[in-house]
C-alpha cells in the first residue's frame, strides 16, 4: 500500500515542510506497512526526498501549475492518489495546503483531520491527535473513511533522515480549469514569513507606537526571525494585518517566540501556544504572559531589547 | 445577488476549555457562545453588499436548537432571514454536505464562510462546500468586491497577499481584513426587536456521513514556572536560549 504525500516547493526548491511531511509519512508507512510516494510539482532535486523516506516521487512539470492554484493542485494530487491506490494522503498546514486539502477531501471522499501534531496513536482505527479550540486543547480523532487525509501541523513532527533512495517518475495529470486566477502578488521576498519562521519576534502595544519598531526589526534580523504583532497593534495600523498573530490572526508554531510589550491575553496566547520556547519582555511582572512563558525579563523594552540585540550580535560573532 | 453567510456557533474567545464524560465531551457549562469571529467579519461585509448593492443576506447554521440565539444575533446585526439545519455538527464533511443542500435549494450566488472556526479550527467546511457544489473557492479572503458576476478578491498568503479574480457562484473563507475591527456592529435595541420578527426556519437534515469522529480530548500538559532573568544580565538570557533551550 502506498502513503501519498504532497511536498511543497517554492521557486523550484523543496520547502522545509516537504521534508517534514515525508518524515511523517515514513513513520505512518512503518506503522501500517507500505511505502511512501511523494508528489512534487515543478521542483528540482526531487530525488533528495529519498533521504527522508520516500521511495517514489511523481514529478509534475507543467507550466500551468507555475503559480499555486488550489483546484489544479488538488486535482493533481487526487489523480496521483487514485493511480497509486493510496489510502493515506498527507499534506502540510501551510496556507496553501490548507486551501487545497478540503477540495482534495471531496475529490477522494476522504475524511480529513487538520492540525495533526503526532504520528497516529493507532492505525486501526486510524486515530490522530490534533490541536483544537485554538491550541487550548487537543483532540484525538478517528478517520473513518477508506481513504484518509491528514494535515500535519508545521514544526510538530520534525525532520527525520533515513538512508534510502527514491525513484523519480514523470507524472502528467489532467489539469482542470481553475475559476480563480491570480492578478497580482504582493509578497516581501526578503523577509521570513511567520509560517516558515523558526523564530518569531513579536511586539505589542507596550511599544507605544509604530516609530519604535526599528529595534523589533533589528532583533528579528539578528535572529533570522519573522516579525509579528498583537491584534491591537494591527488594528491601530501600527503594523500590517498580516503580522497579527493569535486566535483571530495567524497561528504561530515556531521554535522560539519572543513577546515584547505584549500582555498575554488569552486570545493572543491561544494562537502562539504551540511555539516550543516562549520569552517575554514586559515591565509588569503581573502580566499574564509570564505564566505562559519559559523565560522572562521584567524590564523596559526600550532598555532590554537594544541590550539583547547587542549581546546576540556578540554571541553570533563568537560562534561564527 | 443572494448571499448566504455560514455562521459557526463557538465558545467566546475568553472561554476556559474543559471536558466531561471522561474527556469525551466539551463541557459547555458556564461557556458563553458567540458568532465565530471570522464569520462576524464576513457577515459585516455582507451587510455592506446589502446596503450598497441591494443584496439579500441569509445566515445558516448546522446545529441543535442551542445555536438559535447566535442566529438571532446575526439577524439583529442585519441579516434578512436565518436557517438552522437541525443536525449535530459532527465533522466538517457532514456539515458541508448539509450546507450544500441549503445552497442548492436557495440558489445562492455567494457563500461567505469563515477561514476557520475557533473551536474545531478545521479550516475545512468552506472548501468542502465549494467542492461539493462546484463553486469557485477563495480561502483566507481579506478583501472582496463583486461587479455583476465578476469577483475581485484579496487572499492572504504566507508572507504577503495576492489579488485574484473569479466569478460567481463563489464560496469564500473570510477573515479580518474583509472589514476592519472598527466596522463590526454591536446589535442595537431596534435590531434586536426586528430580529424577533424575522424568519428563522428550521430545516431537516439530509443523510450525510461524517469522515471523522472525535473520540477524546486532552489539555496541554501544565507548564513549568517561568525562569526570570535580570534585566541587567541579558548575557544569561542568551546563554539560556543557546545552552538550555537550544533554540539559537
Ligand atoms: C474576539 C477577540 C479576539 C481577539 N483575538 C486576538 C488575537 O488573535 N491576537 C491578539 O494579540 N489579541 C487578540 N485579542 C485582543 C486581546 O484580548 C488583547 O486585547 C490584546 O492581545 C492585547 O494586546 P497587547 O498585549 O499588545 O496590549 P496590552 O494589553 O495593552 O499590553 C501591553 C503590555 O505592554 C507592557 N508594557 C508597557 N510598556 C512597556 C515597556 N516600555 N516595555 C515592556 N513592556 C511594556 C504592559 O505591561 C502590558 O502588559 C482579541 C480580543 C477579542 C475580544
Ligand atoms: N456548524 C456549522 N454551521 C454553519 N457554518 C459552519 C459550521 N461549521 C463551520 N461553518 C463555517 O465554516 C467556517 C470554517 O469552519 P471550520 O471548517 O470548522 O474551521 C466557519 O467559519 C463557518 O463559516
A184: in domain:
no
Does A270 share its domain with A129? no
Residue A1: predicted pLDDT: 83
Residue A37: predicted pLDDT: 98
Counting residues of chain B whose pLDDT is more than 90, the rounded percentage is: 96
pLDDT at B248 over 90: yes
| Integer angstrom CA distances of residue A106 from A39, A40, A147, B126 | 19, 21, 11, 11
How many residues does this entry show for chain A?
Answer: 320
pLDDT in tens, A275-314: 999 999 999 999 999 999 999 999 999 999 999 999 999 9
* Cis peptide bond prior to A114, omega within 30° of 0: no
Domain boundary among A170, A191, A216: A170
How far apart CA A24 and CA A17 sit, in angstroms, is 10
Residues whose CB is less than 8 angstroms from the CB of residue B143 and which lie 6 or more positions away in sequence, other chains included: B152, B153, B154, B163, B177, B178
The angle formed by the CA atoms of residues A129, A198 and A138, to the nearest 5 degrees, is 15
pLDDT at B119 over 90: no
Strand stretches in chain B, DSSP E: 2-6, 9-11, 19-20, 25-26, 33-35, 56-63, 81-86, 110-114, 136-147, 150-157, 160-167, 170-174, 200-204, 212-218, 227-228
Q: Average pLDDT, whole number, for chain B? A: 96
Question: What's the number of domains chain A is made of?
Answer: 2
Burial of B33 (0-12, 13-18, 19+ CB in 10 A): middle
**What does the DSSP 8-state code read for residue A236?**
T
Q: Are residues B248 and A315, on separate chains, in Cβ contact within 8 Å?
A: yes
pLDDT in tens, B202-221: 999 999 999 999 999 999 98
Task: Encode A258-277: b = buried (16+ Cβ within 10 Å), e = exposed.
Answer: bbbbbbbbbbbbbbbbbbbb
How far apart CA B225 and CA A290 sit, in angstroms, is 8
Does A121 share its domain with A45? yes
Q: Measure B64 CA to ligand 1 centroid, in angstroms.
A: 35
Q: Is the dihedral of CA A175, A179, A181, A187 positive or negative?
A: negative
Q: Are residues B162 and A185, on separate chains, in Cβ contact within 8 Å?
A: yes
Q: To 10 degrees, what angle do helices B68-77 and B37-53 make?
A: 40
Q: Which positions of chain A have pLDDT values less than 70?
A: none
Q: Is A293 on the interface with B (CB under 8 A)?
A: yes
With a Cβ cut-off of 6 Å, ligand 2 is lined by B 6-8, 36, 38-39, 60-63, 89, 92, 95, 113-114, 116-117, 120-126
- Spatial strand order of the sheet with A199-203 comes to A226-229, A199-203, A256-260, A277-282, A295-298, B227-228
Q: Are residues B132 and A199, on separate chains, in Cβ contact within 8 Å?
A: no
**What does the DSSP 8-state code read for residue A218?**
H
Query: Is the Cβ–Cβ distance between A131 and A153 less than 8 Å?
Result: yes
Give the distance from residue A14's alpha carbon to the nearest chain B alpha carbon, in angstroms: 15
A186: in domain:
no
Substitution target from B13, B127, B244 for chain A, most A beta carbons within 10 A: B127
| Integer angstrom CA distances of residue A160 from A19, A27, A165, A181, A277 | 8, 9, 14, 37, 21
Does A160 share its domain with A18? yes
Characterize the bridge pairing of strands A148-152 and A167-170: unpaired
Residue A288's domain is classified under what CATH number? Answer: 3.40.50.1220
Residue A200: predicted pLDDT: 98
pLDDT at B223 over 90: no
Does A8 share its domain with A108? yes
**B175 closest CA partner among B238, B114, B86:** B114
Instruction: Please state, as a whole number, how many other Cβ atoms lie within 10 Å of the Cβ of residue A193.
Output: 17
Does A229 share its domain with A309? yes
How far apart CA A211 and CA A35 sit, in angstroms, is 54
In this prediction the ipTM stands at 0.96
Residue B193: predicted pLDDT: 96
* CATH topology (fold) of B2-220: Rossmann fold (3.40.50)
Residue B120: predicted pLDDT: 81
Query: Is the Cβ–Cβ distance between A238 and A209 less than 8 Å?
Result: yes
Does A277 share its domain with A148? no
Q: Is B80 on the interface with A (CB under 8 A)?
A: no
A187: in domain:
no
Does A10 share its domain with A55? yes
Does A225 share its domain with A160? no
How far apart CA A278 and CA B31 sit, in angstroms, is 28
Strand stretches in chain A, DSSP E: 2-7, 9-10, 13-14, 35-41, 54-60, 88-91, 111-116, 122-123, 126-132, 137-143, 148-152, 167-170, 181-187, 199-203, 226-229, 256-260, 277-282, 295-298
pLDDT at B60 over 90: yes
A179: in domain:
no
Give the distance from residue A165's alpha carbon to the nearest chain B alpha carbon, in angstroms: 31
Q: Are residues A105 and B93, on separate chains, in Cβ contact within 8 Å?
A: yes
Distance in angstroms between the alpha carbons of the first and the last residue of chain A: 46
CA-nearest residue to A242 within chain B is B160
Q: In which band, very low, low, confident or very high, does the pLDDT at B156 lie, cut at 50, 70 and 90?
A: very high
Does A15 share its domain with A123? yes
Distance from chain centroid for Cα A125: 27
Does A161 share its domain with A305? no
How far apart CA A143 and CA A126 sit, in angstroms, is 6
* Cis peptide bond prior to B169, omega within 30° of 0: yes
A191: in domain:
no
A194: in domain:
no
Q: Are residues B167 and A297, on separate chains, in Cβ contact within 8 Å?
A: no
Q: Which H or E element spans position A216?
A: helix A214-223
A178: in domain:
no
Residue A126's domain is classified under what CATH number? Answer: 3.40.50.620
pLDDT greater at residue A191 or residue B128: B128
Which residue, by CA, sits nearest to atom 26 of ligand 1? Answer: A204
How far apart CA A83 and CA A86 sit, in angstroms, is 8
Domain boundary among A153, A170, A187: A170
Which residue, by CA, sits nearest to atom 48 of ligand 1? Answer: A263
Does A40 share its domain with A166? yes
Q: Residue A123 is part of which domain span?
A: 2-170
Does A63 share its domain with A135? yes
Substitution target from A133, A176, A200, A230 for chain B, most B beta carbons within 10 A: A133
pTM above 0.90, yes or no: yes
Amino acid at each position: 500500500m502506498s502513503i501519498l504525500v504532497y511536498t511543497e516547493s517554492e521557486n523550484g526548491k523543496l520547502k522545509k515542510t516537504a521534508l517534514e511531511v515525508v518524515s511523517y509519512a515514513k513513520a505512518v508507512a512503518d506503522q501500517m506497512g507500505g511505502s511512501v510516494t511523494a508528489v512534487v510539482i515543478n521542483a528540482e532535486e526531487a530525488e533528495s526526498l529519498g533521504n527522508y523516506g520516500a521511495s517514489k516521487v511523481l514529478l509534475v512539470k507543467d507550466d500551468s501549475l507555475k503559480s499555486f492554484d488550489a483546484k489544479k493542485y488538488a486535482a493533481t494530487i487526487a489523480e496521483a492518489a487514485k493511480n497509486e491506490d493510496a489510502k493515506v494522503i498527507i499534506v502540510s498546514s501551510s496556507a496553501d495546503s490548507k486551501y487545497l486539502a478540503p477540495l482534495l477531501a471531496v475529490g477522494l471522499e476522504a475524511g480529513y483531520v487538520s492540525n495533526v501534531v503526532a504520528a497516529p496513536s493507532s492505525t486501526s482505527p486510524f486515530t490522530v491527535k490534533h490541536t483544537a479550540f485554538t491550541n487550548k486543547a487537543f483532540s484525538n480523532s478517528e478517520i473513518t473513511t477508506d481513504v484518509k487525509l491528514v494535515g500535519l501541523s508545521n514544526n510538530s513532527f520534525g525532520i527525520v533522515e533515513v538512508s534510502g533512495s527514491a525513484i523519480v517518475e514523470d507524472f502528467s495529470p489532467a489539469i482542470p480549469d481553475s475559476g480563480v486566477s491570480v492578478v497580482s502578488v504582493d509578497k516581501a521576498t526578503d523577509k521570513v514569513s511567520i509560517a516558515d519562521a523558526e523564530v518569531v519576534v513579536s511586539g505589542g502595544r507596550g511599544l507605544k507606537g509604530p516609530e519604535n519598531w526599528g529595534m523589533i526589526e533589528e532583533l528579528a534580523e539578528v535572529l533570522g526571525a519573522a516579525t509579528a504583532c498583537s491584534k491591537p497593534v494591527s488594528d491601530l495600523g501600527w503594523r500590517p494585518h498580516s503580522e497579527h498573530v493569535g486566535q483571530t490572526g495567524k497561528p504561530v508554531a515556531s521554535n522560539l517566540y519572543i513577546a515584547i510589550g505584549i500582555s498575554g491575553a488569552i486570545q493572543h496566547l491561544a494562537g502562539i501556544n504551540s511555539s516550543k520556547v516562549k520569552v517575554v519582555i514586559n515591565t509588569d511582572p503581573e502580566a499574564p504572559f509570564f505564566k505562559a512563558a519559559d523565560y522572562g525579563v521584567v524590564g523596559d523594552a526600550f532598555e532590554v531589547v537594544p541590550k539583547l540585540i547587542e549581546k546576540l550580535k556578540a554571541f553570533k560573532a563568537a560562534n561564527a | 445577488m443572494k448571499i448566504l453567510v455560514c455562521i459557526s456557533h463557538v465558545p467566546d474567545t475568553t472561554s476556559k476549555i474543559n471536558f466531561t464524560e471522561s474527556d469525551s465531551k466539551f463541557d459547555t457549562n458556564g461557556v458563553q457562545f458567540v458568532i465565530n469571529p471570522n464569520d462576524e467579519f464576513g457577515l459585516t461585509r455582507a451587510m455592506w453588499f446589502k446596503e450598497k448593492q441591494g443584496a439579500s443576506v441569509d445566515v445558516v447554521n448546522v446545529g441543535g436548537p442551542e445555536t438559535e440565539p447566535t442566529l438571532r444575533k446575526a439577524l439583529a446585526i442585519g441579516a434578512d432571514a436565518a436557517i438552522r439545519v437541525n443536525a449535530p455538527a459532527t465533522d466538517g464533511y457532514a456539515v458541508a454536505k448539509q450546507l450544500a443542500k441549503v445552497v442548492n435549494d436557495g440558489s445562492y450566488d455567494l457563500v461567505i464562510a469563515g477561514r476557520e472556526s475557533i473551536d474545531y479550527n478545521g479550516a475545512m467546511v468552506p472548501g468542502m462546500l465549494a467542492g461539493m457544489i462546484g463553486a469557485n473557492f477563495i480561502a483566507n479572503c481579506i478583501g472582496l468586491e463583486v461587479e455583476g458576476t465578476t469577483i475581485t478578491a484579496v487572499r492572504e498568503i504566507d508572507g504577503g497577499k495576492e489579488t485574484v479574480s473569479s466569478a460567481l457562484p463563489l464560496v469564500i473563507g473570510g477573515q479580518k481584513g474583509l472589514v476592519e475591527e472598527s466596522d463590526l456592529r454591536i446589535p442595537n435595541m431596534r435590531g434586536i426587536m426586528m430580529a424577533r420578527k424575522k424568519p428563522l426556519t428550521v430545516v431537516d437534515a439530509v443523510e450525510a456521513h461524517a469522515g471523522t469522529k472525535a473520540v477524546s480530548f486532552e489539555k496541554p500538559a501544565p507548564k513549568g514556572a517561568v525562569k526570570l532573568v535580570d534585566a541587567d544580565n541579558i548575557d544569561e538570557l542568551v546563554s539560556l536560549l543557546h545552552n538550555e533551550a537550544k533554540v539559537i
